[in-house]
Structure 1
């Protein structure tokens, strides 16, 4: 069982691959889509859950998503067809970093996918290349809510505290328009949902050759969360506009 298959099963009950509940997702989209007829791009869209939700609440919106997973994009196409939004969604099977579009976008989304670009600021640099004048970026990133252990740093990488994270974004030429710090409930619900879904799949498919691996992965990841970073990791989602002097 590869990483993509594990992720797909783990997010069965939490299709937004970040610690955000449905209300938070809706509010972030509302701030990112003030008109309703925007062109939206999701860099690393997976099964395009953000785009599907945007299409559902904005009937004049057009969306594009980029991802390397053919299976995830196939699920996105089917979901768009099921809800009648397939004519407003274009999906690209390729690396997000190399994506080129003939037209800019009013909103660029990258939530929980900054690792694909090498971090927060490289992700913002990638988003900037696709952004129309006056456009917005919706980005989500982890931060240290408390001083982390070395074990947590080894697992999750080079994060900073919330204030420093926002300072880095501002210094890079962005102005926060809206922000949401995930609550303890959102953070816990996300972790329980992911590793619970993976464990449940393993228990429900005892004859599958991947069952043991899935159950072990769920156990290890749950333990890493509970003992490694539950009390230190936070997650912030920001809606950003380009600061005029840096545009």
Structure 2
């Protein structure tokens, strides 16, 4: 049980595996008014940057669960580096279906709603771990601009335009599910540039060290075509944000 190797290689230079900068992650933590002792569960926690930095900055405690052995190890190392290994722990496992042993103050899934087969299922999953009155965090893409054709849709790694919503419709969806949106922090184009650019650099460095690997040909094609495709099909069209919800 692990992430595909090509995904891990592509994101090997990331601490945040989404188009979200450290500054925006910090803004979100401050906006939520987190207090020492806040308990959290982060499903698909990646390299653990959210839990680790919020433990350092706000005294949060909690658990992250991720399917990647590499990212889980990176999260554990990050917790040790920041001196918060006694407050946050990271488990290698399938986040889909994971429920906390005890209700938590904050339950999150940042950019991985496939663990619940979409937004609605992920909201339902997180709610099972959340105490009454707790905060839920969902990270999710949305269309900044209506995609003009199927090529644009597929370039954003989805088969149908309807797989993502425009921002107003996404916010309405949360309401239809019975939740108030109480805060949001949105990525911007610079966030996307930093996220995508780090992938290109990681791929190039990996290719220089592994020119004969079985993945090398596909990575060379990605590096050749990817930057222009990103600028043409993603940078203008796809938004991304983290949304804080409270159950009505």
Structure 1 residue 240 corresponds to structure 2 residue 245: yes
1:15-94 correspondence runs (5 A)? 15-59=15-59, 61-94=60-93
Question: How many residues get paired?
Answer: 241
By how many angstroms is 1:238 displaced? 0.9
State the match for 2:135 in structure 1: 136
When residues 219 and 121 of structure 1 are mapped into structure 2, their CA distance, relative to the original with a 3 A threshold, is: farther
Provide the rounded CA distance (Å) in 2 between the counterparts of 1:133 and 1:52.
Answer: 25
Q: Following TM superposition, where does structure 1 have runs of at least 4 consecutive aligned residues deviating by more than 6 angstroms?
A: none
Following the alignment from structure 1 to structure 2, what is the Cα–Cα distance between the partners of residues 211 and 62?
41
The alpha-carbon deviation at position 3 of structure 1 amounts to: 5.5
- Judge conservation of contact 2:182–2:246 (CA < 8 Å) in 1: yes
TM-score calculated relative to the size of structure 2: 0.87
Give 1:159 deviation, angstroms. Answer: 0.6
The 5 Å alignment of 1:98-247 reads 98-148=97-147, 149-154=149-154, 155-156=157-158, 157=160, 158-206=163-211, 208=213, 210-243=215-248
Tell me the secondary structure at the aligned position of residue 96 of structure 2: helix
Show structure 2 runs of 5+ residues with no match. none
Structure with bigger helix share is 1
Instruction: Give the drift of 1:204.
Output: 4.4
Long gaps (5+) in structure 1: none
Report the Cα offset of residue 106 of structure 1: 0.7
* Structure 1 residues 65-123: Cα deviation after superposition (integer angstroms, max 9, x where no partner): 11122222122222222322222122222211221322111111211111232111211
Q: Deviations over 1:128-160 (max 9, x none)?
A: 111111210121111111111212333324111
1:152-197 Cα offsets, whole Å, 9 max, x none, are 3333241111100100011111111111222121122221222232
Instruction: Tell me the C-alpha RMSD between the 2 structures.
Output: 2.2
Q: For the residues of structure 2 that align with 1:223 and 1:38, how far apart are their CA atoms? A: 43
With over 3 angstroms needed to count, the CA separation of the structure-2 counterparts of 1:82 and 1:180, relative to structure 1, is: closer
Q: Is the 8 A contact 1:65 1:90 kept in 2?
A: yes
CA shift in 2, pair 1:218/1:119, >3 Å: farther
Kept in 2: contact 1:28–1:239 (CA 8 A) = no
The DSSP-based 3-state class of the residue aligned with 1:235 is strand
Scaled by the length of structure 1, the TM-score of the pair is: 0.87
Q: Is the 8 A contact 1:203 1:211 kept in 2?
A: no
